[in-house]
Structure 1
């Protein structure tokens, strides 16, 4: 994640620390959305962030949000549910 953010934001890797504010790294709401879409593509997953209250403010909060999603078995676009049997 650290490398992804450093590359995407064009900042030094050393600046991408858990306590770094995303806004101070140059992330606005549009860039945040773009980053999430790019991360979803790279990780072959879908993140469900619907509430503005859920938007992370720091790198650490972003990592926690993504980790929680992945540990909960985040959905993958290529996964399909098993066929229903009745």
Structure 2
């Protein structure tokens, strides 16, 4: 049940992040949106643990997943924007 819950939360976080950071160069589709949210959650967990906000066994949670996904989308926009020029 844990992996299914992670996929559902990742998808929702990815969709919300896409609404926060709209753009033409963003990844689209169900699978890429889900991966975006899941990677965002991992990024937020890693950064939170590195900064001391979370313990070794704590996760970032839903808001952290959204923030991490937004960070990933901003980085994606810079990389995709440079490739077009």
Query: Shorter-normalised TM-score: what interval?
Result: under 0.3
Provide TM-score, normalisation by structure 1: 0.27
| Structure in which a larger fraction of residues adopt helix | 2
Larger Rg: 1
Q: Which has the higher contact order (CA 8 A, sep 6+)?
A: 2
